[in-house]
Amino acid sequence: MSDTPISLASLMTPSKTVTLDFPGYAGMTVDLCYLAREELMKLRKKCVTTKFDKKTRQPEEILDEDRFLTEYCKGVIKNWSNLKYRYLEELLLVDITELDPDDELPFTQENAELLMKNSTDFDSWVTETVSELENFTGDK
């Protein structure tokens, strides 16, 4: 061991991506990226505008929620596999009558955003999973 003290800053990493099983859906996995607090703050800052409130005569921060969701999805959802069309029927209201239920919905940024916006279960799982550091440490 060297006598030189190790800086915590040199050990920190801004993000880490892991592949996790989506609960209740056989074979479905989602690649999620843990973002350090600083990265999340940067992401939020991109989506905030400051407006002057005439009543209070104070600047007021306004979060563009749609833009935040777009940036958040880009930041944390990196891919998925085995998201079968039949699974979608349990996650949100869809019409898959013209499709093979065992075919898979391809991962695209747009598909990820739509799933986050329209499926409470998917949104909750992603948000909870990404906020739990232990999902990204050690071997899972």
CA-CA distance, 1 to 94, in Å (whole number)?
59
Residue type, 8: L
Task: Summarize pLDDT for 80-115 with one digit per residue, the tens.
Answer: 999 999 999 999 999 999 999 999 999 999 999 999
pTM: 0.82
Using CA atoms of 26, 30, 31, 37 in order, give the dihedral in degrees to the nearest 10.
-130
CA-CA distance, 36 to 139, in Å (whole number)?
19
| Averaged pLDDT for residues 13-31 | 92
